[in-house]
Amino acid sequence: MTPANRKHLIATDLEQNQQAVIAVIGNPNTGKSTLFNLLTGMRQKVANYPGVTVEKRIGELNIGERRFQLIDLPGTYSLAAHSPDERAAIDVLLGRIADMPPPDAVLVVVDATNIKRNLFVATEVLELGIPVVIALNMVDLAAAQNIHVDADALAARLNTTVIATIAAASGQNNLEPLKEALARAVDEEVQQPWALIEDVKHAAEKLASDTTREFQAQATDEVVQPVAAYEIQRALIDKGGEAEKHLVAEFGESLSLRLQTLRDQLSPDQTLAERDAHHRYAHITSVLDGIVQTPSGQLKRSWSERIDQFVSHPILGSLLFVLVMATVFQAVFSWATPLMDLIDTGAGWTTAQVYAILPEGAIASLLADGVVAGVGSVIIFLPQILILFAFIIVLEDSGYMARAAFLMDRSMRWCGLSGHSFVPMLSSFACAVPAIMGTRVIPDTRDRIATIMAAPFMTCSARLPVYALLIAAFIPPQHYFYGLINLQGLVLLGLYLLGIVGGVLTAFLLKRTVLRGSTPTFLMELPPYRTPNIKSVLLRLMERAKAFLVRAGTVIFFVSVVVWGLAYFPRSEILAVEFERQKLLVESSVQVEAEREQAIARLENELSAAQMEQSLLGRMGKTIAPLFKPLGWDWKLSAAVIASFPAREVVIAVLGTTYAVGADVEAEDAGLRERVRNAAWPDGRKVFTPGIALGLMVFYALCLQCAATVAIIRRETNSWRWPAFAWFYMTGLGYLGAYACAQLG
Amino acid sequence: MNSQQQEWLALGIVCLVAAVFVMRWLRQRKQGGSGCSQCPKSSCTSTPSEK
């Protein structure tokens, strides 16, 4: 698109009062996302760029009467794309994203403490001719290091607007100069693109025009989109990069040969990337000459570096890491309890209200046993998830997580992964879905898939109620070492470790077989430590809470209602009549009121169990029971396990119904524990022997019972092959584990 | 409402919920999403491939 066309587009947009688009770009760890959050507040939405699994974050910025669309681009050190994230950033800048106009202005966020390196991408964006505003961020940290940048002089030399900002401490009022600059930039005249290395630009333009013409000649009946000269320019400079891959895929291998010929002609002595970097840094050095004051003489070590001496130390840092993680998990389980109890009480109160208001029957049961018990049993984990994510976000924003990934790199390399995989694996302890989405930061495809396959093994929050129920029912609360070690706690720890070992071994095996390849060097910038911005942390937490609640309100609601329907229908009239007969008998024969109520309650539970046995779920359970017979499971357990394949936490509600407890089927419910413990075969043998109970726990630790995880693996790998493999592999492992445990007796 | 009427109504609700969910899932699939519901629907603009 020519500048004239773009200007026309802008004019049309403004005339029609549509939102102008501002792209936000910058190096990682420059406070870019914090600034974006502060500018847009809650007016954000997150989606994917078309065809790729790169997150697109769009927000709305209001300046006076005008509204703008802000796009937070993935952090990048240059426009040389070597990952799908960086590719998406360039596509946005070039206006190559479907349904998204090219940006009217670009906000480049620059770290004032590292201005030379940050201006690399800024100068590349300036070459595009799009109006640019530079946010000179973290000027407070720069001042603390005795680095002073003359923003006005920098603006004059770069011929653009430069605004000093402190994102971590900014309130809305402090951002007014930046907002005004952005509003002005959108109305600015678009310049002709230019280039630091003119001959490369000219060669790229010629090749773009030749390629377009040749393809137009071949495609007689359709109009060929002109090849972007800038993309050819990028392909020339970034040999083997995303631009070259994209062009070769579109125009064939011959283009690759022509690119190489041009490279040899343009830069015979060094690579074009080296030539570009030399020119660019020379230009940046001349721009900064005299306008940046840096401390002279021996640099005093910054407090960030002093902390790093301890935090990044192989032994001390690892000990601190274990301590931090222990605190995080302790907090997840202990701090969440009051809130979880509150939600539990709320669910119990709602159930009681449903039964109090509605007459006894199917509708009351649907609402109480289906909707409230099902959705409530999932929502109860919201506090745990929010506490875990609050820790992760604060640790990320403070700069600690980068150190943790650096420390874990050595351990991860043992199983063929790198430090990139650490944060997604850690996130899996809350939920595998965001963790799998988080693997997008891993640049190597093989590493990414190995991490995706390992992540669902980690003990997510949905496994917790299953473990809580089974441990409380079958593991005696014995204490050892003067009460310091609790056997139940040890079993829980063992199940967590089993998940970790399962994931690590899976990655190890995959990286040595189908995903064989060298582990890439893990290079990452250690950002300076900083105080997280509370508003930004809260915004991200609310985003997580919203996604979780939406899931509880859709998938879990659906599963709860359908499982209730399967467990409730069809109803047997004969059983109902028999129950009424026995009830009358009890009422007439038992004189003591308490005993009579107890007897009737027992009858109701027995009726519920009998109705369940002949329901659709019961029949299905009996049909598939032979499959689980080697594991020692009865049909009720088989049915509950099958019903929990879409979402493992559903098993609690299904077990509650199958073992006929009635309304309250929470894991902590002693009634359910007792019923499970006393469940017996028709010949009187106990269903749950220690081996079978342990086997069930192992099954839940290893099996992939989560439709959302299967869907997200499909989405992230763009194939059904990997989710199918993950499902069969994990379910097979769970089955074998449960079988081995069942042999213990 | 007697118990039999209640059962019919409950069965109708279960079928309706199942139908709405399946239709919603199919529509999401048609639009190119994975069919998962991790993100709010209003935010999901993913399409199968670049046009």
CA distances in angstroms from A86 to A74, A91, A395, listed in the order given: 7, 9, 25
Ordered strands of the A66-72 beta sheet:
A44-48, A55-63, A66-72, A20-26, A105-111, A132-137, A161-164
Which residues, 6 or more positions from A487, have their beta carbon under 8 angstroms from its beta carbon? A475, A476, A477, A478, A479, A480
CB A89 within 8 A of CB A57: no
CB A192 within 8 A of CB A5: no
Q: Which of residues 404-433 of A touch B (CB under 8 A)?
A: 433
A585-599, A692-706, B32-46: least confident range: B32-46
Percentage with pLDDT > 70 across chain A: 87
Residue A727 has pLDDT above 90, yes or no: yes
- Residue A505 — pLDDT band, cuts 50, 70, 90? very high
CB A614 within 8 A of CB A637: no
User: Which residues of chain A have a CB within 8 Å of the CB of B39?
Assistant: 46-47, 547, 550
Please return the burial class of A99, using the count of CB atoms within 10 Å of its CB with bins 0-12, 13-18 and 19+. exposed
Q: Which of A436, A561, A577, A579 to mutate to test the interface with B (most CBs of B within 10 A)?
A: A561
Contact A47 B13 (CB under 8 A): no
Contact B36 A50 (CB under 8 A): no
The pLDDT score that the predictor gives to residue A730 is: 96
Three-state secondary-structure class, residue A252: coil
Nearest alpha carbon to residue A585 among A573, A603, A565, A610: A603
Query: Which tokens is A369 given?
Result: 């046993």
Where b means 16+ CB within 10 Å and e means fewer, A652-690 reads bbbbbbbbbbbbbbbbebebbbebbeebeeeeeeebbbe
Residue A543 has pLDDT above 50, yes or no: yes
CB A110 within 8 A of CB A135: yes
Question: In this structure, how many other beta carbons lie within 10 angstroms of the beta carbon of residue A340?
Answer: 18
CA A344-A473-A553 angle, 5° bins: 30
Residues in chain B: 51
Contact A565 B14 (CB under 8 A): yes
The pLDDT score that the predictor gives to residue A738 is: 95
The pLDDT score that the predictor gives to residue A299 is: 46
Query: Which tokens is A325 given?
Result: 């993680």
The pLDDT score that the predictor gives to residue A597 is: 86
The pLDDT score that the predictor gives to residue A591 is: 85
- Name the DSSP class of B42: G
Contact B43 A715 (CB under 8 A): no
The pLDDT score that the predictor gives to residue A666 is: 39
- Longest CA–CA span in chain A (Å) reads 105
The pLDDT score that the predictor gives to residue A499 is: 92
The pLDDT tens digits of the residues spanning A138-182 come to 888 888 888 889 999 999 999 899 999 886 665 555 788 999 999
The pLDDT score that the predictor gives to residue A459 is: 87
* Positive/negative CA dihedral, A571, A574, A578, A580: positive
Give the B-side interface with A, CB within 8 Å.
Answer: 1, 3, 6-7, 9-11, 13-15, 17-18, 21, 24, 33-51
**Residue A561: which of B9, B14, B44 has the nearest Cβ?**
B14
The pLDDT tens digits of the residues spanning A4-57 come to 444 433 334 444 346 889 999 998 878 888 888 888 876 666 555 555 545 678
CA distances in angstroms from A102 to A86, A98, A185, A195, A243, listed in the order given: 16, 10, 14, 20, 18
**Residue A708: which of B9, B36, B51 has the nearest Cβ?**
B36
Please tell me which residue of chain B has the smallest CA distance to A548: B38
Shortest CA gap B2–chain A (Å): 8
User: Which residues of chain A have a CB within 8 Å of the CB of B35?
Assistant: 711
Shortest CA gap B49–chain A (Å): 4
User: Which residues of chain B have a CB within 8 Å of the CB of A98?
Assistant: 47, 50-51
The pLDDT tens digits of the residues spanning B30-40 come to 665 444 443 33
The pLDDT score that the predictor gives to residue B29 is: 67
CA distance A35 to A137: 9
CB contacts < 8 Å between A and B, how many?
Answer: 104
A448 half-sphere exposure, CB direction, 13 A CA radius: 17
pLDDT, averaged across chain A = 81
Residue with tokens 């009358």: A584
Residue A311 has pLDDT above 80, yes or no: yes
CA distance A588 to A595: 12
Three-state secondary-structure class, residue A101: coil
Residue A568 has pLDDT above 70, yes or no: yes
First to last CA, chain B: 55
**Packing angle of the helix pair A690-702, A463-474 (nearest 10 deg):** 170
* ipTM of model: 0.76
A103-112, A400-409, A561-570: least confident range: A400-409
- A108 - beta bridge partners? A25, A134
Tell me the average pLDDT across A692-721: 88
Contact B7 A714 (CB under 8 A): no
Which residues, 6 or more positions from A566, have their beta carbon under 8 angstroms from its beta carbon? A615, A616, A617, A620, A643
Where b means 16+ CB within 10 Å and e means fewer, A376-386 reads bbbbbbbbbbb
Q: Which helix (H) or strand (E) holds B12?
A: helix B3-30
CA distances in angstroms from A531 to A133, A396, A423, A430, A719, listed in the order given: 26, 11, 20, 24, 41
**R_g of chain B computed on alpha carbons:** 16
The pLDDT tens digits of the residues spanning A430-482 come to 778 878 877 876 777 888 899 999 999 998 877 877 887 788 788 887 877 77
Q: Which of A100, A365, A366, A575 to mutate to test the interface with B (most CBs of B within 10 A)?
A: A366
The pLDDT score that the predictor gives to residue A515 is: 85
DSSP string computed for A456-505: GGS--TTHHHHHHHHHHHHS---EETTTTEEHHHHHHHHHHHHHHHHHHH
**Residue A51: which of B3, B34, B50 has the nearest Cβ?**
B50
Where b means 16+ CB within 10 Å and e means fewer, A170-184 reads beeeebeebbebbbe
The pLDDT score that the predictor gives to residue A192 is: 72
CA distance A721 to A367: 39
- Name the DSSP class of A631: G
Amino acid at residue number A43: R
Please tell me which residue of chain A has the smallest CA distance to B21: A558
**What would the 3-class secondary structure string for A23-89 be?**
EEEECCCCCHHHHHHHHHCCCEEEEECCCCCCEEEEEEEEECCEEEEEEECCCCCCCCCCCHHHHHH
The pTM assigned to this predicted structure is 0.61
Please tell me which residue of chain A has the smallest CA distance to B5: A362
- A162 - beta bridge partners? A134
**A384 φ/ψ angles, rounded to the nearest 5 degrees:** -60, -45
Tell me the average pLDDT across A368-393: 78
- A137 - beta bridge partners? A111
Question: In this structure, how many other beta carbons lie within 10 angstroms of the beta carbon of residue B29?
Answer: 12
Contact B46 A711 (CB under 8 A): no
Query: Which tokens is B39 given?
Result: 């993100």
CA distance A91 to B51: 13
CB A311 within 8 A of CB A363: no
Please tell me which residue of chain B has the smallest CA distance to A52: B49
Q: Which helix (H) or strand (E) holds A20?
A: strand A20-26
CB A712 within 8 A of CB B38: yes
User: Which residues of chain A have a CB within 8 Å of the CB of B43?
Assistant: 45-47
- Residue A105 — pLDDT band, cuts 50, 70, 90? very high
Q: Where are the beta strands (DSSP E) in A65-192?
A: 66-72, 105-111, 132-137, 148-149, 161-164
The pLDDT score that the predictor gives to residue B21 is: 85
Q: Which of residues 99-158 of A touch B (CB under 8 A)?
A: 99
Contact B17 A558 (CB under 8 A): yes
Contact B36 A711 (CB under 8 A): yes
Tell me the average pLDDT across A317-335: 76
Contact B38 A554 (CB under 8 A): no
CA distances in angstroms from A493 to A17, A343, A464, A695, listed in the order given: 59, 26, 11, 16
User: Which residues of chain A have a CB within 8 Å of the CB of B1?
Assistant: 359, 361, 363
- Residue A685 — pLDDT band, cuts 50, 70, 90? confident
CA distance A354 to A366: 10
